[in-house]
Amino acid sequence: MDNRDDIREFLTSRRARITPEQAGLPDFGGSRRVAGLRRAEVAMIAGVSPDYYTRLERGNLAGVSDSVLDALCRALRLDEAERSHLYDLARAAGSTARTRRRPAKPHVRPGTQHLLDAMTDAPAFVRNGRLDILAANRLAEALYSPAFDTAGRPVNLARFCFLDARAEQFYPGWNDAANTTVALLRTEAGRDPYDKALTDLVGELATRSDDFRIRWAAHDVRLHHTGTKHFQHPLVGSLELGFEAMPMPADPGLTLTAYSAEPGSPASNALRLLASWAAPDHRAEHPAVTDRP
């Protein structure tokens, strides 16, 4: 198993989106048989031979120097996420059974769960690169109650987004949520193309969802460390929450995500109401919010 197809499709798709004018090349008129730049044009901009670039675009990135990768990033006008993805693809291409990335642990340490539970005013959870929620505090379970209201464990946010009809209502900006979900999975696949569980998940989603399959073919990647998310919660209505997604150095492959609301905002009031619903004594009387599994 290798990642040559992913390399080829990624480089081809990035080359196709750049016009000669954007690359600063002269326009000699006439029709072009390819979308975007030709291979020879990318090679010229990157300062490598056409034959060498053709070999790279066919998926042979093993052993390529950082200087060549930097030149490709400049020639293809890659952003920060795409640049990191290209380097991940190159590292994976040169990996062996001994050097392949170890999969993230399927469970979190007790201390991490204690930290989540101590965050009583902020929804927070820990996920892996496949978007499995491996641990969450009660407020995060209440926020994501439609996703937790399923039999499967661990809850997977990609399956929820593409295979659960409630997702389109839960995410008012579903298209952006779907694009982000696929971009995160594509980024993870670049880091570790040998993750069988991820390959199985992608295969399942591609088989069952046309929306996923179209987005997966675009080879888009994205960094997702901070920003704002919008939810339409079945109990408390609209919420606009800021988020911070922080990799966990002690647990490689895991990310802690926490949400917050602007003090005094409607979202802050909605979070307080949601917290009251998430309280164990209230949930025992009003089981509208899913209990922790």
pLDDT (tens, 9 = 90+) of the chain, 293 residues, equals 578 999 999 999 999 999 888 888 876 555 677 778 999 999 999 999 999 999 999 999 999 999 999 999 999 999 999 999 999 999 998 775 445 556 666 778 999 999 999 998 999 999 999 999 999 999 999 999 999 988 788 999 999 999 999 999 999 999 999 999 999 999 999 988 888 999 999 999 999 999 999 999 999 999 889 999 999 999 999 999 999 999 999 999 999 999 999 998 999 999 999 988 877 754 544 444 444 44
Predicted local confidence at residue 288, as pLDDT = 46
Which domain covers residue 76, as residue numbers? 4-93
Q: Is 120 in the same domain as 206?
A: yes
Q: In what order do the strands lie in the sheet with 255-260?
A: 155-156, 132-136, 124-127, 255-260, 237-247, 226-233
Q: What domain count does the chain have?
A: 2
Q: Is 84 in the same domain as 202?
A: no
Residue 24 lies in a domain: yes
Q: Is 119 in the same domain as 229?
A: yes
Residue 105 lies in a domain: no
Q: Looking at 32, 58, 93, which one is the last position of a domain?
A: 93
Predicted local confidence at residue 224, as pLDDT = 86
| CA pair distance 220, 215, nearest whole angstrom | 8
Q: Is 73 in the same domain as 168?
A: no
Domain CATH number, residue 52: 1.10.260
Classify 77 as helix, strand or coil.
Answer: coil
Q: Is 80 in the same domain as 211?
A: no
Residue 203 lies in a domain: yes
Do 198 and 191 touch, CB atoms closer than 8 A? no
Predicted local confidence at residue 134, as pLDDT = 96
Classify 26 as helix, strand or coil.
Answer: coil
Q: Is 272 in the same domain as 205?
A: yes
Determine the distance from the C-alpha atom of residue 228 to the mean position of all C-alpha atoms in its chain, rounded to a whole number: 15
Domain CATH number, residue 215: 3.30.450.180
Place of tokens 């073919």: 217
Predicted local confidence at residue 105, as pLDDT = 64
Q: Is 153 in the same domain as 224?
A: yes
Q: Looking at 44, 66, 93, which one is the last position of a domain?
A: 93
Q: Looking at 32, 63, 93, which one is the last position of a domain?
A: 93
Q: Is 77 in the same domain as 22?
A: yes
pTM of the predicted protein model:
0.86
Residue 98 lies in a domain: no
Predicted local confidence at residue 183, as pLDDT = 97
